Structure 1
Amino acid sequence: MKNLDDKGLLRSLTLKDAVGVGLGAIIGAGIFVVTGIAAGVSGPAFIVGLLVAGIIATFNALSSAQLASKYPHSGGTYEYGYILINPAFGFSAGWMFLVSKLAGAGFVALGFGGYFYQLMPIASPMTFSVLAVILLTVANYFGIKKAGNLNLAIVTITFLSLIYLAFSGIPEVNFENFKPFAPFGISGIAEAAALLFFAFTGYGRIATLAEEVTDPKKTIPKVIIITIVTAILLYSVISVVAIGVVGTQSMASSTSPLQVVADALNTPEISSIITIGASTAMLGVLLSQILGISRVMLAMGRRNDLPPIFKKIHEKYRVPHIGILFTGLIILILTLIGSFEFIVRAATFTILLYYSITNIAAIKQPKKDRMYGRLIPILGLIGCLAMSASLPLIVVFSGIGLLLTGFVIRFLFHRIYGRQE
């Protein structure tokens, strides 16, 4: 049953819709690009790194589920930080989410243009990238249900293309390609885990949309668990097939490792199908990023951490339309100029900070509100801190610089619009 809550957003995302949003946020650059990079730093043992990353991501996912079921508000960790820790932590989470996702969205849009151009070389890759940003912004504007339906179609195509690749590749797996298994030892596996962790981080997207989920207390935990388990299983199968078919050296030497795998197989139209799957994967991630970014802007606008115009809700479509349009505009600009490299480099730090705050908030939840106990968020926090320790100093300093910039902007907004904690 659809209904409006007191904030004006429409609760219409069912379990199926929400799972689609979660999978659309996860199945993107992680499986289509990062697996090749991870293969280069750890050899076939990157599968172990994948499982380690999946386990740490699961701890974080359970923390997100526990928090979102209790606080089903737009904004995700931005809200939890404010409510359970203090405003500085809440703002840090919200600002870092916006910076990393906006920068990443520009690269995702460019990635879509590059892939789609291979299918239809009738216009430039940039033209396709720009069209994708415009069309997905429009789709978001006309209501969460319409965006959810489009997302389900996109995710289904991506998922089926990867299943086709898996079944095509299983008979061609050569187990000699798994030797030597760990040529770079434990350090290589640890580095692969840190890289691959970011391939899972879209599971938390549904928490930022919690205000639009039906029966959030029951639905959100189910969605997050289904999403993360599905991603781990799918990534594991595809990784085993990829190694077995072409080996990690071939994967590492390409920016499109799954395309290399597809080109090595004789299954009918496999190369074209993987190109289509990669294109829809980029679209799914971009769609979910516009959804998530605009909802965090909504939450931050309510507290004047951003201009209060972002808290406006469209009377008919019941979406934060100003945030959606602004998000689309920024992504379009970043796509046209190629985004800011230093912001993207800092994204590794920002996302670890974001999920560290998630876990701290879950640790501080009252005992009566905990679904999984304190051990889960403690392990999630330890995992985030351990991976942070492996980051280059330039990445950490870039992230800190972006965070400080955010606090300066917040101070100015509070001077203009007043403070609302």
Structure 2
Amino acid sequence: MAQSGSELRRTLGVGDAVVIGLGSMVGAGIFAALGPAARAAGSGLLLGLAVAAVVAYCNAMSSARLAALYPASGGTYVYGRERLGAFWGYLAGWSFIVGKTASCAAMALTVGAYVWPGQAHAVAVGAVVALTAVNYGGMHKSARLTRVIVSVVLAVLASVVVVCLGSDASDAGRLDVGVSGGAGGVLQAAGLLFFAFAGYARIATLGEEVRDPARTIPRAIPTALGVALVVYAAVAVAVLSVLGPEGLGRASAPLADAVRTAGVPGLVPVVRVGAAVAALGSLLALILGVSRTTLAMARDGHLPGALAEVHPRFQVPHRAELAVGAVVAALAATVDVRGAIGFSSFGVLAYYAVANASAWTLSSAPAARLVPVVGLVGCVTLAFALPALSVVVGAAVLGVGVAAYGVRGWRRTT
């Protein structure tokens, strides 16, 4: 539990919380995930998007109910601890921190790849340092910057949709929904696309910094998810109508290729800038979420206690933010994290599996348990439908966390 005088400042309303959620979701995922998803599912891409949306909706509803009841930093780490026991809370926190730290590095390198491909690692480190400094200054600054980023990204995505659907290259016949990639391909695509939906967790992890959390969080999470789903569906339909599933699957920069094929090559630089800005927005929100979960786990002794300190002026977990920023910067400077998206999805799906299991305990009514059950089954299914390497690495890293928890418990008892 937080000690007296160490609580975070409640400064965020519904609008700010929705913007932070959108900044996490409507980010680099939509610029990068469509291609791999199309390669996995072929003409079943839209089905994969629908499956990912259903699982995300169940996770969002479970998270909203829990966040309103437990409005503290840490998200599912807190919910699992309170509803299922200390181990499950720890497992959720470990999954989140490890998976999202990899996501932070991936987003930083995405910024570098779009801004200056020849110096991607250097640009990535600079982006991490700059956004860590922004977060250090307090939540008001982070929320304002996120609002600007979301506005820019939505404008770019809207331009892509209008250009593609209005071009002569657009063909509705390419939207034929099928399962050319098989059921396994559709599920793998859903798991990859889930990466682009997972950002609404940031609203829950900021539960200690929103005003009137019992009212704000249940409104902000589904609102942010709904807006993101509409945007994703519009972009997927527009790009598919121009490139088709085969062309989309071959594209390394799907949205840029789509506007070029649509006959507006002048928009390509704008799309590149939009992708870089989107990655910055995702990175900003990811660092926020990881640092808050680190704060909660440090408060409970699972991580060094120094990370639980709250800055007396800015009222942010400044040591946790600096530690997360340092680790992410080191990864961005030295590691190729292109495969980290699949690993991150595995960790995040494990995190939400604990959230749904926690929400299942809130009521014994069958109707109230339907959403958590669907969410739990969906998370497990999508996690193990991911590429084999992502599953193996993800399971191994979770195993390391479990072993560390066991060693810590053994030391306490002896």
TM-score (norm 2): 0.92
Q: Which residue of 1 aligns with 2:24?
A: 25
Q: Is the 8 A contact 2:192 2:386 kept in 1?
A: no
- For 2:368 and 2:314, the matched residues in 1 are separated by 39
Q: Which residue of 2 aligns with 1:338?
A: 335
Greater mean alpha carbon deviation, residues 195-204 or residues 220-229: 195-204
Change in CA separation of 1:308 and 1:29 when aligned onto 2, cut-off 3 Å: same
Task: Give a deviation string over 1:338-363, Cα, whole Å, max 9, x none.
Answer: 25677655333222211110000000
Amino acid at match of 1:245: V
Q: Is the 8 A contact 1:307 1:413 kept in 2?
A: no
- For 2:337 and 2:110, the matched residues in 1 are separated by 15
Q: Which residue of 1 aligns with 2:382?
A: 387
Q: Which residue of 1 aligns with 2:277?
A: 280
Amino acid at match of 1:59: C
Q: Is the 8 A contact 2:106 2:340 kept in 1?
A: no
Q: Which residue of 1 aligns with 2:193?
A: 196
Q: Out of 311, 328, 336, which is 1:314 matched to?
A: 311
Q: State the Cα distance separating 1:334 from its structure 2 match.
A: 0.1
Matched, 1:150 2:145: yes
Q: Is the 8 A contact 1:21 1:206 kept in 2?
A: yes
Matched, 1:183 2:180: yes
Q: State the Cα distance separating 1:400 from its structure 2 match.
A: 2.9
- For 1:63 and 1:363, the matched residues in 2 are separated by 8
Alignment of 1:196-345 (within 5 A): 196-267=193-264, 269-338=266-335, 345=342
- For 2:400 and 2:222, the matched residues in 1 are separated by 35
Q: Out of 129, 135, 139, which is 1:140 matched to?
A: 135
Q: Is the 8 A contact 1:21 1:205 kept in 2?
A: yes
Q: Is the 8 A contact 2:43 2:181 kept in 1?
A: no
- For 1:319 and 1:178, the matched residues in 2 are separated by 47
RMSD value over aligned CA atoms? 2.4
Amino acid at match of 1:351: V
- For 2:127 and 2:337, the matched residues in 1 are separated by 20
Q: Out of 151, 162, 166, which is 2:161 matched to?
A: 166
- For 1:403 and 1:56, the matched residues in 2 are separated by 22
Q: State the Cα distance separating 1:410 from its structure 2 match.
A: 4.2
Q: Which residue of 2 aligns with 1:37?
A: 36
Q: Which residue of 1 aligns with 2:357?
A: 360
Task: Give a deviation string over 1:72-102, Cα, whole Å, max 9, x none.
Answer: 0000000001100011100000011110111
Task: Give a deviation string over 1:200-246, Cα, whole Å, max 9, x none.
Answer: 11111110111001111111111110111111111111001001112
- For 1:303 and 1:77, the matched residues in 2 are separated by 14
Q: State the Cα distance separating 1:193 from its structure 2 match.
A: 1.8
- For 2:388 and 2:126, the matched residues in 1 are separated by 37
Aligned partner of residue 72 in structure 1, secondary structure: coil
- For 2:319 and 2:292, the matched residues in 1 are separated by 10
Greater mean alpha carbon deviation, residues 187-196 or residues 330-339: 187-196
Q: Which residue of 2 aligns with 1:373?
A: 368
Task: Give a deviation string over 1:32-63, Cα, whole Å, max 9, x none.
Answer: 11111111222232111101110111011100
Task: Give a deviation string over 1:99-137, Cα, whole Å, max 9, x none.
Answer: 01111211110110111227xxxx833332121111100
Amino acid at match of 1:116: V
Q: Is the 8 A contact 1:306 1:413 kept in 2?
A: no
Q: Is the 8 A contact 2:102 2:340 kept in 1?
A: yes
Q: Which residue of 2 aligns with 1:64?
A: 63
- For 1:177 and 1:342, the matched residues in 2 are separated by 29
Change in CA separation of 1:271 and 1:254 when aligned onto 2, cut-off 3 Å: same
Q: State the Cα distance separating 1:184 from its structure 2 match.
A: 2.8
Greater mean alpha carbon deviation, residues 92-101 or residues 182-191: 182-191
Q: State the Cα distance separating 1:392 from its structure 2 match.
A: 5.1
Matched, 1:404 2:403: no
Greater mean alpha carbon deviation, residues 39-48 or residues 288-297: 39-48
Q: Which residue of 2 aligns with 1:96?
A: 95
Change in CA separation of 1:343 and 1:263 when aligned onto 2, cut-off 3 Å: closer
Q: State the Cα distance separating 1:378 from its structure 2 match.
A: 1.1
Q: Is the 8 A contact 2:74 2:292 kept in 1?
A: yes
Aligned partner of residue 333 in structure 1, secondary structure: helix
Q: Point out where structure 2 has 5 or more consecutive residues left out of the alignment.
A: none
Q: Is the 8 A contact 2:188 2:387 kept in 1?
A: no
- For 2:403 and 2:338, the matched residues in 1 are separated by 22
Q: State the Cα distance separating 1:393 from its structure 2 match.
A: 5.2
Aligned partner of residue 128 in structure 2, secondary structure: helix
Amino acid at match of 1:302: R
TM-score (norm 1): 0.91
Change in CA separation of 1:338 and 1:198 when aligned onto 2, cut-off 3 Å: same
- For 1:344 and 1:179, the matched residues in 2 are separated by 28
Change in CA separation of 1:54 and 1:94 when aligned onto 2, cut-off 3 Å: same
Aligned partner of residue 368 in structure 2, secondary structure: coil
- For 2:184 and 2:115, the matched residues in 1 are separated by 36
Q: Is the 8 A contact 1:74 1:299 kept in 2?
A: yes
Task: Give a deviation string over 1:374-405, Cα, whole Å, max 9, x none.
Answer: 11111111211222342455543422321232
Q: Is the 8 A contact 1:51 1:232 kept in 2?
A: no
Greater mean alpha carbon deviation, residues 372-381 or residues 263-272: 263-272
- For 1:392 and 1:113, the matched residues in 2 are separated by 25
Q: Which residue of 1 aligns with 2:49?
A: 50
Alignment of 1:114-133 (within 5 A): 114-117=113-116, 124-133=119-128
Q: Is the 8 A contact 1:93 1:353 kept in 2?
A: yes
Count of residues paired in the alignment: 409
- For 1:240 and 1:208, the matched residues in 2 are separated by 32
